[in-house]
Structure 1
Amino acid sequence: MPVYVYSITAAAHPCRLDGLTGVGADPAPVRALTAGRLRAVVSDLREEIRPKRRDLTAHQEVQERLMADGAVLPLQFGYVAPDDGAVVEVLQERADAYLAALERLRGRAEYHVKASREQDDLLREILRDSDRARELNDRIRAGDADPRLPLMLGEIVAGEVRARQEALAAGLTEALASLAEDHRVRDPAEGDDVLNVSFLVRDDEKDAFLRTESRLSEETEGVEFRFSGPLPPYSFV
């Protein structure tokens, strides 16, 4: 029977799975498969799985339960193996790599930071700071019909927007990366976002990291932050 795979842990992990049911319309109990020094946390799957809210929640609940008791290698949603034997075979073949990854992630969690800035606020700032952009904008508003003006203004604004967003993202990332062991930068996924970064933070640096997040949120005018964590370290597996 196909099995849905949630995470890989060390065999010594307690894997407290009581009461957890897995993904799918007819969810099976979550259980652990042991192969040498490793375990895989799985559940039987009777149908093709899709990212529905209930299933995403079930997937995350398993990760959080495991993470509370030790290091885990969380798999992204949707990983299905043909049967128990296939899972055990992979654990055996890649044991050294998985054990090394578990050791690297021990006592660490992922923190996700997004930041956005209103485009209208940014445009007003550019028109305030850029003499050339302000001049072109004033000419257009005054009724100058030169067809080149909107294009010229658009090019200036686009360049300024890109430069300011990159500078802001770099500064915020640098401030937080000093308190993290590793980080992953991704392209912003939403329209006004300027930052989308995941950080791998040691448990003993958690408080300092969160204080820095809070300070940046208070001090960075016009920027909306969205913080999440501690999370299973999906980005660093």
Structure 2
Amino acid sequence: MLVIRGLGSQYGRISVLRSVNLVIGRHQLIALVGANGAGKTTLLRTISGVQKASSGQIEFDGKDITQLRADKRVKIGICHAPEGRHVFGPLSVEDNLHLGAYSRADKAEIAADLERNYAMFPVLKQKARLPAGTLSGGQQQMLAIARALMGRPRLLLLDEPSMGLAPLLVEEIFNAVTELRKRKITILLVEQNANAALAIADQAYVMETGEIVLSGSGKELLGNERVREAYLGI
């Protein structure tokens, strides 16, 4: 579904991504792990079009989208739940969800997707009329994921969905990710909780200083001594 070749990106003169190569197959869950500052968030931002590529190519469904605007990428099915949630605090929970479907015109299907997200995250339905800014951190993370799902993603980019959450909420978020995998949504998951991410991943990549340094199945990387020492604390 997604092929990245020699991708580079930079902030001003500072190079953040260096010749990144990555492949995501249809219906796969891909984990991307690495230390803080490795470039993981920048890679997701570059795939979604928020950050510009300075070199290389991004191919989606056989088409070059390297120069495609971010809003156009949403329309072809690339949806991004960013690090730090970034919900629209003054707007209601339900309005935030409707914003996730801004590129769609199928009202009946939008309503059905809204109910599907409420079924996955019941607390959002309970608080649908409240300002999103009044939600807890975990509830805002649920909202950020649900908002991305309202775009009907073919490729869902999840950036640190469990960051800063209590253990019970982390479990709930990972249960949701597992459910989305069962729905055959293709997912690229960036996650500091490397052990949990690799345990559910079909394939995984390790990023260091803007480069992919290791790849393999989730199971293979869980057993890799270098990964175990650097990222799993084993």
TM-score calculated relative to the size of structure 1 = 0.28
Which entry has the higher C-alpha Rg, 1 or 2? 1
Q: Which structure is higher in helix share?
A: 1
